[in-house]
Amino acid sequence: PGHVAEHEKVEVFQKNGSYHTSHFRKTSTLLNPTFTAPNLTTFTNLDGLGLTAIGQHLSAAKAEILCHVTNPNPWCQTCGAAGIPRDTVTRRLAHEPLGWRPTVLVIKHRRYRCANCQRVWREELSQAVAPRQKISRTGLRWALVGLVCHHLSVSRIAEGLGVTWNTANEAVLAEGQRLLIDDPTRFDGVKVLGVDEHVWRHTRTGDKYVTVIVDLTAVRDGTGTARLLDMVPGRSKAVFKTWLADQEEQWKQGIEVVAMDGFTGFKTAAVEELPHAVEVLDPFHVVKLGSEALDQTRQRIQREQHGRRGRKDDPLYKCRRTLTTGLSLATEKQKTKLEDLFKEPEYEPVQLVWSVYQKMVDAYRQPKPEVGRWALEQLINEVGTKVPKGLPELKKLGGTLRRRKTDILAYFDHIGSSNGPTEALNGRLEHLRGIALGFKNLARYIARS
């Protein structure tokens, strides 16, 4: 009450190198607003299309708006003479839905004949619709915002527009390609890269992968979220190296940090193409290495002690979740369960690997980065040189940590340059595949992503 929206516009624009969606709402906060007469042209957002509404027909299935061109141009573009009206042509365009009821623009536009040169032409509709398009520009913008920002499926968009699935899909993808993907300034402002692999299709003969490249600059600076830059078919050193080589040299010189997982192919490609950049191994994957070593040790001891895989009453199997819980987050019941487990001498190897895993987790949870860096460096030096015999899992872990020591410790010098947002974006891609019931065409999948 007391607020009247004068206009509302949703548009996708570029700011600081990343795309955002902003809702501009200009409202009147006057206690006594001035009301105007109802205007069907303004209500249906036809002002920006160069059309004027002159009638309506409402039914339960759809709404039809009869309109004509606001400013007709009856002059011949060849000789400049005045054209003689010949007849009227009716064109129907899908428009943004009103109340989620499909809305159709029934446009009556004249056809003229030049009395001088006999040229025939129609009233211009380029302001209202793109060439050979069945959806108005306003309807197309509504569909693109619904797909990108509101996470609607193409089926839901086609239902709202009252068109077929193929019509909606082709139109929205073409508009997104023109407005978002083909923007030459799309890569501007990128300083922190995230790279990861992603399964885009599961097949009987083997999964198909893409390399996902993400802009993490806004995450590092605390000004926004991760932004998908590109998706390249395949997952290898050559794929990432080729993509980097195709970028402009000035752009590559601006890259400061490359966040990645433990795959050495991405590491090698970044070193060769971006020698000035710092490679950061993501904390999640570092801790995951310790978690895998702990699980493998537990499974080996289980087989040696019982000659079988874990059963529900086996002590190690009962503690499998508790072992990978951070000690600072464990309950008193979980701590008591661990104390009882480690009283058994045959479980000493599990306790040793568990202590290393807990130290890794504790290092990343230190409030001061310099303290965490020192603790993790001490642990890497210790595990890399002083591993008791009979612990192959811990020895393998120590070798991996020693080889990637520089990348692991670089995280503490570049707080915020984590590959976690890249993993989160992979989750959004999984959701996209789910609502689409899978993709068969990689080009379409990349465009939708």
Taking only the tens of pLDDT, the chain with its 449 residues reads 333 333 333 344 444 444 444 444 444 444 677 888 889 999 999 988 999 999 999 998 899 999 999 988 888 888 888 888 888 889 999 999 988 899 999 999 888 888 888 888 888 888 999 888 999 999 999 999 998 888 888 899 999 999 999 999 999 989 998 888 888 888 999 999 999 999 999 888 889 999 999 999 999 998 988 999 999 999 999 999 999 999 999 999 999 999 998 888 999 999 999 999 999 998 989 999 999 999 999 999 999 988 888 888 888 999 999 999 998 899 999 999 999 999 989 999 999 999 999 999 999 999 999 999 999 999 999 987 778 888 999 999 999 999 999 999 999 999 888 888 898 999 989 988 888 888 888 888 888 88
Nearest to 426 by CA among 149, 153, 198: 198
Instruction: Give, for 160, the enclosing helix (H) or strand (E).
Output: helix 154-161
pLDDT, residue 19, reads 43
Distance CA 379, CA 402 (A): 10
Distance of CA 241 to CAs 50, 234, 275, Å? Answer: 49, 12, 12
Cα angle 221-360-224, degrees, rounded to a multiple of 5 = 15
Find the distance separating the first CA and the last CA of the chain, reported in whole Å.
40
Nearest to 201 by CA among 429, 448, 447: 429
8 A C-beta contact, residue 297 and residue 353 = yes
8 A C-beta contact, residue 417 and residue 190 = no
| Tokens representing residue 266 in the block | 């991405």
Max CA pair span of the chain: 106
pLDDT, residue 159, reads 94
Distance CA 241, CA 238 (A): 5
Q: What SS3 state is found at 415? A: coil
| Tokens representing residue 64 in the block | 């039809």
Q: What are phi and psi of 249, to 5 degrees?
A: -65, -40
Neighbours of 82 (CB within 10 A): 11
Q: What SS3 state is found at 179? A: helix
User: What pTM was computed for the model?
Assistant: 0.73
User: Where do the H-state alpha helices sit in 324-439?
Assistant: 332-342, 348-364, 369-385, 392-403, 405-413, 420-435
Instruction: Give, for 69, the enclosing helix (H) or strand (E).
Output: strand 63-69
8 A C-beta contact, residue 213 and residue 247 = no
Distance CA 270, CA 276 (A): 9
User: Where do the H-state alpha helices sit in 81-153?
Assistant: 137-148
Beta bridge partners of 68: 52, 108
